[in-house]
Amino acid sequence: MNTLSIQNLSLVYNNKVKAIDDISLEIKDGMFGLLGPNGAGKSSLMKTIVGLQKPSSGNIFFNGISAVENPDFLRKQLGFLPQDFNVYPKVTAWQLLEHLAVLKGVTNSKKRKEQINNLLQKVNLYDKKDNEVRTFSGGMKQRFGVAQALLGSPKLIIVDEPTAGLDPEERNRFNALLTEISRDIIVILSTHLVEDVRNLCSNMAVIRNGKLLCLGSPSELTASLKGKTWTRSILKSELQRFQLEYQVISYQFIERQMFITIFSEEEPKGFNSLEPTMEHFYFFTLNQNK
C-alpha cells in the first residue's frame, strides 16, 4: 500500500500571494479527486508535490520518505499526464514511447520493448503504434498520455483535467482506463469537473484559495446535505430576491424554466424536497467559503 502524506503544507510566492495555505492530506492507493475552481491552488499543489517548486513550510512524505528533502525519490516513482499533451511532429506512437522510456531510465532494450507493447495494449492503441501521435483524436491522445505516464511502473500518477474536450464515448473509455490503473497505485485526479470526481474517486478534497475546505468520500459528503436541499421554479426576474431571502446553492434552466436549489434546515414554504447530488455539495461548499 502506497501512502502520500501532505503535512501542513504552505506556499507563499514572492508577491505575498499564498497559493497553498496549511494543507494536510493523506492519500492511499486508488483514485483521489482534487476538486476546485480555476485558480483554487490545484496546480500549485501538484507542482509542489512533484518537486517543481519548494514549499514555504510543511512537508510531503511518500512511503515514509520526505519528497521535499529527497525530490528525486518521488520523481523516480511518478507519472504525470498534463491537461494538454503536446507531441513532436512526425513521430509515431512507438517512437515517442521509446524516447520517453529512455528518459525515464528504462535502459534495458528488451524490457523497454516489452513494457511499451504492454502499455499500448492496455490503452488499446497497439494497432496504431506506427501512426503519428499528432494524427490521433483527442481521446486517443489522452490514452496515449496514460501510456507515457505509466512508463517506468510509477507508484503515483497525477492527471490534470484529463477529460476536458472529450466526447462522451471517449470520456467513458478514458474513465474506465483510469479506474483500471488505480487499483494498485495512487492516482490524483486534479479537476474542476464534479462529474469526473463523483464517477471515479473513492475519496476527494475540495480546495479554494489554497485552503482545504473538506475531505471525504463523494457519497458521504453528498449525504451530509440529505433533507436540507429544496427546489422550486421561479421567474428569472425573481432570482435576486430569492438570493437575498434564502441560501441559494445553485440555479439552472430546465426546458426554459428556471429552477433554484436552496439549503435549509427546515422545509421552506413553496419548495419541494430534492435529493442532494455531488454538484449540490460542491456549490454549497464553495458558497460557504467565499
Nearest of 207, 279, 283, 185 to residue 46 by alpha carbon: 207
Asked whether 74 and 83 are in contact (CB, 8 A), the reply is no
Taking 90 as the threshold, does the pLDDT of residue 250 lie above it?
yes
How far is residue 247 CA from its own chain's centroid?
A: 28
- Which range (36-40, 121-125, 168-172, 183-187) has the least confidence? 168-172
User: Which of 3.40.50.720, 3.40.50.300, 3.20.20.80, 3.30.420.60 is the CATH number of 3-217?
Assistant: 3.40.50.300
Rounded Cα gap, residues 219 and 226, in angstroms: 11
What single DSSP character describes residue 153?
-
Taking 70 as the threshold, does the pLDDT of residue 96 lie above it?
yes
- Would the CA dihedral through 194, 198, 201, 207 be positive or negative? positive
Rounded Cα gap, residues 92 and 99, in angstroms: 11
- Which range (48-52, 66-70, 92-96) has the least confidence? 48-52
Partners of residue 191 on adjacent β-strands: 35
- Would the CA dihedral through 238, 37, 168, 32 be positive or negative? negative
The reported pLDDT for the residue numbered 154 is 92
Rounded Cα gap, residues 38 and 25, in angstroms: 20
Asked whether 229 and 251 are in contact (CB, 8 A), the reply is no
Rounded Cα gap, residues 140 and 155, in angstroms: 23
Taking 90 as the threshold, does the pLDDT of residue 61 lie above it?
yes
- Residue 219 CB: number of other CB atoms within 10 A? 10
Over the stretch 158-187, which tens digit does the pLDDT of each residue have?
A: 988 777 777 888 888 888 888 888 888 999
Mean pLDDT calculated for residue range 108-131: 93
Rounded Cα gap, residues 7 and 77, in angstroms: 20
Which cell numbers in the block locate residue 235? 421567474
Question: What's the CA angle centered on 37, arms 167 and 214, to 5 degrees?
Answer: 115
The reported pLDDT for the residue numbered 183 is 85
The reported pLDDT for the residue numbered 196 is 87
Rounded Cα gap, residues 64 and 45, in angstroms: 19
Which cell numbers in the block locate residue 209? 484559495
